[in-house]
Amino acid sequence: MTNTVPVITIDGPSAAGKGQLCQEMTKILKWNFLDSGLIYRVLALLTLENQINLSVEEDICRVAMQLQVLFYSKNGKVQVILEGKDVSTKIRNQNISIIASKIAVLPCVREILLSFQRKFRLPPGLITDGRDMGSVVFPDALIKIFLDANLSERVNRRKLQLQKNGFSVNFNNLIDQIQERDERDRQRSSSPLLLAPDALRIDSTNIPMKQVLGIALNYVYKKLSLL
Ligand code: DC
């Protein structure tokens, strides 16, 4: 059965501003929101805490199959409850980002997570943040946006974000980590990060978020008016 609930996908590399754009759009449109990166981050945390070897694909996929996680929104930020504990801060550190990106290359993990992610498609609409939202998870999405920015701008943004969350940051390590993660996300054979042919690309390098939001909303309203 086809799902007619409209979807807006926001894909792009790490720290391009997807999270902030989604947060603002969710507030305005009052639609549901899925931050798909959080799912990979929760899996990374479970792998780490259960000392699962990253090279044993079956073990990671077993964890993915049993995944039970709860998301809820508090003051516009997604909170994550895993096995009764709030892991919202823990999963947003750099070490978890790296493990999440390594786990995300595994085809069985991506396959298992497909149905989990599609369950978020509920009325009145869904806004999703990720790497393969428009290309693989919701290929029939009404509106696809690819948010980009150059590497140094993205590293600066992530540095500020990490510092705001109380993490200490080594700038040079951060450049290497983001570059390595981007490369892994773009090069993997299963659902790589790419610009879907029917997506609007916005380069946010030199434009403030308020303007990015304006461009995105204009595009969204234009598409919605055609329904
Ligand atoms: O968006 P994020 O930084 O929270 O994502 C963490 C990692 O999860 C990212 O490096 C790659 C992976 N990921 C993915 O492969 N596909 C998605 N749709 C979302 C995230």
- For 156, counting Cβ atoms within 10 Å of its Cβ (0-12 exposed, 13-18 middle, 19+ buried), the class is middle
Residue 11 near residue 144, CB atoms below 8 Å: yes
At 77, the amino acid letter reads K
Whether residue 101 has its Cβ less than 6 Å from ligand 1? yes
Q: φ, ψ for residue 137 (rounded to 5)?
A: -75, -45
Distance CA 25, CA 8 (A): 10
Question: What's the pLDDT score for residue 167?
Answer: 85
pTM of the model as a whole: 0.94
Structural domains of the chain, ranges and CATH numbers in brackets? 7-222 (3.40.50.300)
Ligand 1 neighbourhood includes 135 CB (under 6 angstroms): no
Phi/psi for 11 (5° steps) reads -110, 165
CB of 20 closer than 6 A to ligand 1?
no
For a mutational test of ligand 1's pocket, the pick from 77, 95, 112, 131, i.e. the residue with the most ligand atoms closer than 8 A to its C-beta, is 131
Q: What is the DSSP letter of 5?
A: S
What is the per-residue pLDDT for 1? Answer: 64
Please list the pLDDT of the chain residue by residue as tens digits (227 residues): 678 999 999 999 999 999 999 999 999 999 999 999 999 999 999 999 999 999 999 999 999 999 999 999 888 789 999 999 999 999 998 899 999 999 999 999 999 999 999 999 999 999 999 999 999 999 999 999 999 999 999 999 999 988 988 888 999 999 999 999 999 999 999 999 999 999 999 999 999 999 999 999 999 999 999 77
Q: 25-31: which pairs have CB atoms within 8 A and are 24 or more residues apart?
A: 25/127, 25/213, 25/216, 25/217, 25/220, 26/76, 26/127, 27/76, 28/217, 29/125, 29/127, 29/220, 30/124, 31/124, 31/125, 31/126, 31/127
Question: Which residue type is seen at 92?
Answer: R
* Ligand 1 neighbourhood includes 104 CB (under 6 angstroms): yes
Contacts of 9 (CB under 8 A, 6+ apart): 128, 130, 133, 134, 137, 138, 141, 143, 144, 145, 196, 199
- How far, in Å, CA of 157 to CA of 86, rounded? 25
Whether the CB of 125 sits within 6 Å of ligand 1: no
93 DSSP 8-state letter: S
Instruction: Cite the beta strand spans of 185-226 per DSSP E.
Output: 200-203
Q: For residues 188 and 93, what is the distance between their CA atoms, to the nearest angstrom?
A: 22
Rounded to an integer, what distance in angstroms lies between the CA atom of residue 217 and that of residue 176? 33
Nearest CA to ligand 1 atom 10: 101
Q: Please name the residue whose Cα sits nearest to atom 18 of ligand 1.
A: 130
Query: From CA 92, how far away is CA 194, in angstroms rounded?
Result: 23
Answer whether 36's CB lies under 8 Å from 130's CB.
yes
Gyration radius (Cα) of the chain, Å: 17
